[in-house]
Structure 1
Amino acid sequence: MHIEVYNAKLHNLKNITTKVPKHQFIVVTGVSGSGKSSFIFDTLHQEGQRIYLEALGIAHDVQHYDSFDMILGLSPTIAVQQRTVSNLNPRSVVGSVTRILNLLAIIYAQEGQRAGESQHQPDEYVPGLFMFNSPHGSCPACGGRGSVVEVNVAKILPPPSETIEHWHQFAYQFPHAKNEEKEYVHKRLDNFVKHFQVSTETPFAALPEEAREAFLNYRPRRTQSKGHLIFYGVHVVIEEKLKKLNVQQFPDLLTTRLCARCQGFRLGPEALSITIGDKHIGQLCQMNVSELAAFLRHYQTARPHTPFVAHLLAEILRKLDCLETVGLSYLNLYREIPTLSGGETQRLHIMSHLSAKVDSIIYIFDEPTAGLHEQEKEKIIESFHRLKQQGNTVIVVEHDESVIRHADTIMDFGPLAGQFGGSIVYQGSYADFLTSRESITARYLREKKHPPKKYASRMGASFPKLSLRNARTHHLKNIDVDLPLGAIVGICGLSGSGKSSLVIDTLIPKLQSSFKAKAGKQRPLVEEEEEREGDSAYTQADARLEGAENIDGCVVVTQKLARRHENSCVATFLGVWDHIRYIFSMQEEAIALQFTRSSFSFNSTGSCPACNGNGHIKRWLGQQTFYDPCPSCQGKRFKREVLQVRYKERTISDVLEMSVTEACEFFRDHGKISKLLGTIEELGMGYILLGQSLTTLSGGEAQRLKLARELGKNTKGSYLYILDEPTVGLSYYDTEKLLILLGKLIASGHSVLLIEHDPYVLAYCDYLIELGPGAGDKGGEVIAKGTPEEIKQQACSLTGPFLP
């Protein structure tokens, strides 16, 4: 049985006609921009979705109605893409997403016992009592979060030896000093001074106890009578200001502490007094998947259960086994979804499909091994074969060699990206694939060559380094880590071994604090502040940092893109859009029509009034969102009169449709534009469109776009570039381009730190630090360190055996 596709021609596809075998494990590969996603997601998946909805009697106009001539043999498709599985709700946890928490709550409602009770009536408790997201169950003190984020104003107040006038002035000038003096500020301090018979020059430390308490916390009563003290304590003044600001902007002020009422278990006292097997549900939710499975297996046999509860226990254990299969045994049920990587989130979705046990579905996965150590990939590959054995077709878009090696059929797109791609250069078995002369992917798999290094790495006791001492954040076991500067350093280890805890949650906050003093003089840290979740608990970095004076700043490049307006596109994100609009506003037709820069913005006065510059009309069907081209502007996004203005015979809408490669050539006379776009080309992303929405980018593409933006800023000095799994979404061909660029950064006097799993990249690093040996509380130690050659010789290393 096959899926027959005739003349697929969406985007850069070159009229592809092919037969895709069904009930197989198929891996689709090729360089970035070669047409993989256009064929698999935008053609096969879109058409499969349309057929299914039509069968349900729901009309659905596919946006790309002319993207192929005919497709036969399609079944319903389910696509799990990294960019579509992000969940930014911090109250969403592993237990709620997998529904294991719901099932456990029902078991507690049925069989839970209070201390001293022999039995209870089955209807005595409701399941919501055992769920932190339910009003019946959540801890009243922390609202079910398990922790309380507090503002510690004392951290920023002046020294006690300073005068109360200085303290008072500081409170009213926080967070930014203001030159204007307001009369009421002086009047309030005068009121305080007269009431307590002290001087404005009195040091805070010398205030009597009653006066000190009032100076910090006094708030006047609403009913004002003669002689009543009108004064606001400095804590009150600052806290009122913080209510109007995003406190995440002041991480040094935030203190996260365990909720004293529920001790981090998130639930109210009644739920925590009820147990099964001598454990309350909060304790079960804080066990990792492996521990919880062991506990429930023992509970399953330790006492008799009703058939209903026996079924619930079997269902939970099946789900836990699936979590173990996809390499997530180190998670616990309370782990918040926004803290998971794209790969971890996607593997959660794979687990839900594995446990569903349906057949005749076409499953499409987008780089499911992202974020997995080589040793962990075996289980995920097994899960694909299991889905296939259930009677499904599994299509995986992937660059990983171990996944390609286990495929029944390989489809390789290319040969290159954009207009030089769009063809299937190979379709068949792995053995024959390695002999293919047309495939760039096959050539890299055969040769595995690294680009030459055009720099001399500076490592050794006499060279500068950054050091973290006594790191204890999350599961880190009080470790000391030295990071050589002037080199590419890779942090590796199993998923959950502590890599992110060390770099993202410890090193970056410590560097941020260290550079605060220099903030007025330079750009000490580059990090998208708007990407921080306002409702997420602030991580307290527990370590001591040494050597921050050896660098001038730090550039953090993660895979996450901030939640921006859906109109945000590549051109606006890179900062070239303003320059392009200025060019159009300077054309003769624009001047004659009195157009300004804003006239050429699809977010401003130039936008099509029918679709508000979106280019499409959005429709909702349940949880699905569909887009139809705007009937007024035909997807061009602008008013008709704006499109009369041309630059080099192109309209502003035409420019948005250009790829980065085209635009680079088109604007070659404009230095700022061509420099930024040229950096993206160097990173192998010349195929993306200037008007492409940021919401359509994969994690790897988002990260490279950020890197290109940072490199275009002419950072002077010696900076540390921190990249979080930069090879997600990259073929070997594109990875080589990234390594060349990282080499240029080192040659320019900068340093690079990577969190990475890819053996090809790790072998190119100058120095590796491996964490482990296991995940969660079984990790958090440095198990190996040294050059890649040294790591290969260390028996304790789990990464060494996979290095080429």
Structure 2
Amino acid sequence: MKHIEVYNAKLHNLKNITTKIPKQQLIVVTGISGSGKSSFIFDTLHHEGQRLYLEALGISHDVLHYDSFDMIQGLSPTIAVQQRTVSNLNPRSVVGTATRLLNLMALIYVNEGVEKGSGQTETSLREYVPGMFMFNSPHGSCPACSGRGTITEVNIAKILPPDSESIETWHQFAYEFPQHKKEEKEYVTKRFDNFISCYNLAPETPFSQLSGEARDVFLHYRPKRTQSKGNLIFYGVNVVIEEKLKKVNLQQLPDLHITRPCTRCHGYRIGDRALAITLENNHIGQLCRMDVLGLTAFFQHYLAVRPHTAFVVHLIKEILSKLACMETVGLSYLNLYREIPSLSGGEIQRLHIMSHLSAKVDSIIYIFDEPTAGLHEVEKAKIIESFQSLKQQGNTVIVVEHDESVIRQAEYIIDFGPKAGQEGGTIVYQGDYANFLDSAESITAKYLLHKPMPPKEYAGIVDASTPRLSIRNAQTNNLKNINVDIPLQSIVGICGLSGSGKSSLMIDTLIPKLQAALKARAPGNKRSDETETEADTVTARAEAELEGAGNIDGFVVVTQQLARRHENSIVATFLGVWEPIRHIFSTQEEAAAQQFTKGHFSFNSMGSCPMCNGYGHIKRWLSQLVFSEECPSCQGKRFKDEVLRVKYKQRSIADILGMSVAEAQAFFQDHPKISNLLTAIEEMGMGYIHLGQSLTTLSGGEVQRLKLARELGKSGKVNYLYILDEPTVGLSYYDAEKLLMILSKLVAGKHSVILIEHDPYVLSYCDYLIELGPGAGHKGGEVVAAGTPEEVKKNAGSMIGPFLE
């Protein structure tokens, strides 16, 4: 069939959509957030394509949706590359393993590596295996760091008492840690008495006065297992604390970790034998530290400089092909040891696109979710070329996208709307780009014709009197000893190519320096920042000086990442409205009669359905595939029957979870604590998401707006700095306009806003721009332009200037 035919698609807010979609074309699906795009493309088309493929393989498929449509014809196998918030990513997964480049390079080292000092590739190397050159293999990982390249240690010295304190105080501290409750057990006193009598010391002896031997024993001694006479029965202070640390959550003890490069492998992750084998005087660890452009140059030279076997020539050409695909998708600044959890949602998705570009298969339906997220305007042309390449191989390419440059290149456009939630769920336009602009119903088309700038609720003037944060001599990562002045009480845009140094300047330099400055200002107090960080991500050491931190009272970092969260973490919990809602239900007459507490209205606690444990579904595993079917006991409602019988305004607790934010805001109008938080979400254009929606189903852009709305729903903050990392991911121009209006309100309230951003529409609205570049990786790290959007537009060295409104 030349078309995909869909009859009566009705999942979520879709209103019985019946349509034909052409195959082997570049199709762009657009519409405002919540209009039904994902429900139709991912949850209907992709799921059905997956089901048909599994059925053809003879695999049971009765756990997938049957009621989301009447019939779909003409589907080929589908591959969906979505941009979702991913938790629990393995930090041992790096770009080199995800792309299989590391495997290919290991094979070349096995075949042609030269042993240091021998100049030979023969005999001895033939006994080597590829795993010897791979840090994830027991044959190749550095034994000191287990292939991580870094050693993480607990910095116990940071928490110990001053050297001037008595050894009795030190000993008490160790046994009272971390609760700081006095330890009354007799054996503790006995052990200390053993130590002081052994070394003829007094309890009040200052730690600083211990001899070298006594100090070593006092800190590190552990008695032998044999309890023979003459053994000192005493446990060193560090030994006691280390044992206690094994039983506590280290995330509750900030600043205790030291992460440093492994001294044995010098951060290269591999063992001594692999470090001794080279190609052109480079071991495999050195190649893995090169960026894509540098690695491409190396293998082009290596291919030409000497003869190779046909097998090695094939390997080198395959490596160069994969590297060329990485450059095509705008990832030329990455190196092969870059950890996957440190990548943004857009970067991870482009890594997936790269793997499909190099696969060269046909008759597939590829579905991409905002592939241009995180790309500069000048980088988008290569991504669009890659879609054309996939299509020319005989595939159908469906792109869910808001970006104007991608929409313009579409052969076929499907626009959902007209609005979000219950006001969406229909196709308002199907056809080519030229006729799309004439569509009267399409909000997207109106914004493509004219993008109105919302009025600012403040002066928006940056001059000499504007307070500033000043970063001096920044050298973090690729930053080239730069000085940057950031105006406050305004909206500042940080722009530049992918990999030009934006995150190095903001995330890896400004944030750590602000944390240190605010902590020094209020020692012993609760942290003044409110960031969420992934525990596995190693934060770069900020190499810079910061001036002007006294001009703000605190800061909030709003990224697309979620700290580790369970799939049972829901929107209502994240926003802080779930507890007051459960309290309301626990005070109803029926609840009081049953002696129900708040815990009974939690699907993670006493109220959960015993069959599905509150998930609402039962999971089945088939190798790496996971399927879910509705729980037959609670019919997906998550709770016990007796809990569901308790009603508030004729609604059960499960009914509340099924409400959209917009519905819940109206329902809880008489509870300001709940309705105020929900109003902030609605103003953000996210009234369509549901209170019971799992956080793991949200896109990176949705997570970010949810975080921002949660912060705005809180009261009491004054003179705060808000740092947003690519806030327009997932936003149509309609939604971006709403975001700008909220940011304007923040600045009008004497706050400051920094946006790491690519979108020319948003950058044009900023009061001040700082552009980094001129290129990516080692070619970036400099300030190429700074000033108002009008000034940057006139700057001949600016890459973003020609695209500004």
TM bin (shorter chain)? over 0.9
Partner Cα distance (1:735, 1:184) in 2:
65
Of 279, 282, 286, the residue aligned with 2:282 is 279
2:728 alignment counterpart: 727
Partner Cα distance (2:567, 2:629) in 1:
15
1:401 alignment counterpart: 404
Q: State the AA in 1 paired with 2:57.
A: L
2:445 alignment counterpart: 442
Deviation, 1:648, is 1.6
Of 452, 460, 469, the residue aligned with 2:472 is 469
Q: State the AA in 2 paired with 1:324.
A: E
- Residue 744 of structure 1 aligns to a residue whose secondary structure is helix
1:174-203 deviation digits (Å, cap 9, x = unpaired): 445435666665665555555445555554
2:607 alignment counterpart: 606
Contact 1:458 1:485 in 2 (8 A): no
Correspondence 1:211-230 to 2 at 5 A: 211-223=214-226, 229-230=232-233
Deviation, 1:769, is 1.6
Q: State the AA in 1 paired with 2:390.
A: L
Q: State the AA in 2 paired with 1:10.
A: L
Q: State the AA in 2 paired with 1:472.
A: Q
Of 308, 330, 348, the residue aligned with 1:345 is 348
Q: 404-413 or 85-94, which moves further after superposition?
A: 85-94
Q: State the AA in 1 paired with 2:483.
A: D
Contact 1:27 1:410 in 2 (8 A): yes
Contact 1:85 1:345 in 2 (8 A): no
Partner Cα distance (2:240, 2:790) in 1:
59
Deviation, 1:774, is 1.6
- Residue 333 of structure 1 aligns to a residue whose secondary structure is coil
Deviation, 1:119, is 3.6
Partner Cα distance (1:788, 1:200) in 2:
68
1:228-247 deviation digits (Å, cap 9, x = unpaired): 55544443344333333444
Correspondence 1:56-71 to 2 at 5 A: 56-61=57-62, 63-71=64-72
Partner Cα distance (2:526, 2:112) in 1:
62
Deviation, 1:71, is 1.7
**For the structure 1 residues 599 and 212, does the alpha-carbon distance in structure 2 shift closer, same or farther, using more than 3 Å as the test?**
closer
The TM-score with structure 2 as length reference comes to: 0.95
1:84-110 deviation digits (Å, cap 9, x = unpaired): 776711111111111111111112112
- Residue 591 of structure 2 aligns to a residue whose secondary structure is helix
Deviation, 1:737, is 1.1
Q: Quick check: 1:513 aligned with 2:516?
A: yes
Partner Cα distance (1:466, 1:193) in 2:
53
Deviation, 1:305, is 2.1
Q: 500-509 or 453-462, which moves further after superposition?
A: 453-462
Contact 1:415 1:439 in 2 (8 A): yes
Q: Quick check: 1:527 aligned with 2:531?
A: yes
1:656 alignment counterpart: 657
Q: State the AA in 2 paired with 1:525.
A: D
Contact 1:570 1:692 in 2 (8 A): yes
1:456 alignment counterpart: 459
Partner Cα distance (1:557, 1:379) in 2:
29
**For the structure 1 residues 85 and 168, does the alpha-carbon distance in structure 2 shift closer, same or farther, using more than 3 Å as the test?**
closer
1:750 alignment counterpart: 751
2:147 alignment counterpart: 144
Deviation, 1:546, is 2.6
Contact 1:34 1:414 in 2 (8 A): yes
**For the structure 1 residues 324 and 189, does the alpha-carbon distance in structure 2 shift closer, same or farther, using more than 3 Å as the test?**
same
1:682 alignment counterpart: 683
2:616 alignment counterpart: 615
Partner Cα distance (1:216, 1:456) in 2:
60
Deviation, 1:507, is 2.0
**For the structure 1 residues 398 and 154, does the alpha-carbon distance in structure 2 shift closer, same or farther, using more than 3 Å as the test?**
same
Q: State the AA in 1 paired with 2:80.
A: A
**For the structure 1 residues 541 and 234, does the alpha-carbon distance in structure 2 shift closer, same or farther, using more than 3 Å as the test?**
farther
1:331 alignment counterpart: 334
1:281-328 deviation digits (Å, cap 9, x = unpaired): 112111111111221122223222222222222211111111111111
Contact 1:87 1:337 in 2 (8 A): no
- Residue 372 of structure 1 aligns to a residue whose secondary structure is coil
- Residue 266 of structure 1 aligns to a residue whose secondary structure is coil
Deviation, 1:735, is 1.0
1:574 alignment counterpart: 575
**For the structure 1 residues 84 and 454, does the alpha-carbon distance in structure 2 shift closer, same or farther, using more than 3 Å as the test?**
closer
Contact 1:492 1:768 in 2 (8 A): yes
Q: Quick check: 1:120 aligned with 2:122?
A: yes
Q: State the AA in 1 paired with 2:303.
A: Q
Partner Cα distance (1:308, 1:372) in 2:
36
Partner Cα distance (1:69, 1:603) in 2:
35
Partner Cα distance (1:575, 1:567) in 2:
15
Q: State the AA in 1 paired with 2:257.
A: L
- Residue 620 of structure 1 aligns to a residue whose secondary structure is strand
1:587 alignment counterpart: 588
Q: 264-273 or 58-67, which moves further after superposition?
A: 58-67
1:638-696 deviation digits (Å, cap 9, x = unpaired): 22222222222222221111111111111111111111111110100000111111111
Correspondence 1:624-639 to 2 at 5 A: 624-639=625-640
Q: Quick check: 1:790 aligned with 2:797?
A: no
Contact 2:571 2:693 in 1 (8 A): yes
Deviation, 1:351, is 0.6
1:135 alignment counterpart: 138
Contact 1:398 1:404 in 2 (8 A): yes
Of 306, 310, 315, the residue aligned with 1:303 is 306
- Residue 434 of structure 2 aligns to a residue whose secondary structure is helix
Correspondence 1:57-456 to 2 at 5 A: 57-61=58-62, 63-83=64-84, 88-114=89-115, 115-121=117-123, 123-175=126-178, 177-178=180-181, 191-223=194-226, 229-250=232-253, 252-456=255-459
Q: State the AA in 1 paired with 2:528.
A: P
Please, what is the CA RMSD of the aligned residues?
A: 2.3
1:352-375 deviation digits (Å, cap 9, x = unpaired): 101000011110000111111111
Partner Cα distance (1:310, 1:336) in 2:
28
Contact 2:96 2:337 in 1 (8 A): yes
Partner Cα distance (1:407, 1:777) in 2:
34
Contact 1:487 1:766 in 2 (8 A): yes
2:803 alignment counterpart: 802
- Residue 754 of structure 1 aligns to a residue whose secondary structure is strand
**For the structure 1 residues 617 and 253, does the alpha-carbon distance in structure 2 shift closer, same or farther, using more than 3 Å as the test?**
closer
Q: Give percent identity, aligned residues only.
A: 73
Contact 1:498 1:775 in 2 (8 A): yes
Deviation, 1:540, is 2.4
- Residue 664 of structure 2 aligns to a residue whose secondary structure is helix
Deviation, 1:776, is 1.6
Partner Cα distance (1:205, 1:590) in 2:
62
Deviation, 1:227, is 6.6
Correspondence 1:30-45 to 2 at 5 A: 30-45=31-46
**For the structure 1 residues 171 and 487, does the alpha-carbon distance in structure 2 shift closer, same or farther, using more than 3 Å as the test?**
farther
The aligned length equals 801
Partner Cα distance (1:608, 1:570) in 2:
20
Q: State the AA in 2 paired with 1:375.
A: V
Gaps of 5+ in 2: none
Deviation, 1:798, is 1.5
Partner Cα distance (2:796, 2:143) in 1:
51
Contact 1:34 1:413 in 2 (8 A): yes
Deviation, 1:415, is 1.0
**For the structure 1 residues 328 and 229, does the alpha-carbon distance in structure 2 shift closer, same or farther, using more than 3 Å as the test?**
same
Partner Cα distance (1:358, 1:784) in 2:
43
Deviation, 1:218, is 3.8
**For the structure 1 residues 645 and 167, does the alpha-carbon distance in structure 2 shift closer, same or farther, using more than 3 Å as the test?**
closer
Contact 1:458 1:486 in 2 (8 A): no
Q: State the AA in 2 paired with 1:668.
A: Q
1:450-498 deviation digits (Å, cap 9, x = unpaired): 1101013474444432233332222222222222221122211111112
Partner Cα distance (2:505, 2:197) in 1:
53
Deviation, 1:523, is 5.6
